[in-house]
Structure 1
Amino acid sequence: MLKFRPRTSAHPPGGREEPDPTKTPNIKTPNAKPPSTSTSPAVNDLSRYERPRDEGDDFRHRMLANVAALAFTVALTAIGIWLAVSIADLRKTQDCVLMGRRDCARISVTPQG
């Protein structure tokens, strides 16, 4: 029987741990930062993702991307519906055959002209 031991550290065993200067106050490092007094990490500023107001918006490119996304979504939906109908038809035919019936196959009649 295998006995499991509870983990005692946050790092997995065998991994390299770097010494934390905040946990060992006796070790002096030249560029050590003092421990942070706040408990929450600094909030990232989102201003780097903003565009300047004077920069024009590429409306044509955005609309083409929207049309392409819509066409892809419609095509994916149509393929999904076709696949569901095909699977249902195959299941119906398979159930008919497994019941022992002989008139399960569809016969398509094309008009002769």
Structure 2
Amino acid sequence: MSMNKSSSEDNGDRVIPLRGNRTSHPPAPAPADDDLRRFEQEGAESPEAYRHRMKVNLAALAFVLVLIGAAVWMADAMFTMRKNQDCVLTGRRTCATVDYIPQAR
């Protein structure tokens, strides 16, 4: 039996060198002074900008409070469902609470 010398090349494993685009260079960063000058303000803040910032802060606070309320509501609903499921799985028949308001006759 003769061994084929090219058997290692025939198994399909080949390394292909990837050549990047070496001619292009990353853009030079802009000077930091130019970027910060547009954010610098001389003197006090204008009343309109202050009002706008406060409105945005209040809107963000309201949104966060709504998210917290939704999370608490969801956690309570999951707790109640888990409690009812545990009750049913133990074999009880009267697991659901029934709100009964007695009426005077």
Q: Return the TM-score normalized by structure 1.
A: 0.59
Which of the pair has the greater relative contact order for Cα pairs under 8 Å at 6+ separation? 2
Alignment of 1:1-113 (within 5 A): 8-9=17-18, 20=23, 42=29, 44-45=31-32, 46-47=35-36, 49-53=38-42, 56-57=45-46, 58-112=49-103
Gaps of 5+ in 2: 1-10
Q: How many percent of aligned residue pairs carry the same amino acid?
A: 33
Report the CA distance between 1:75 and its aligned residue. 1.1
Letter in 1 for 2:42: R
RMSD of aligned Cα (Å)? 3.3
Deviations along 1:48-106, whole A, 9 cap, x unmatched? 54144158431111111111111110111011101101011001101111121112011
Q: Return the TM-score normalized by structure 2.
A: 0.62
Gaps of 5+ in 1: 12-17, 22-34, 36-40
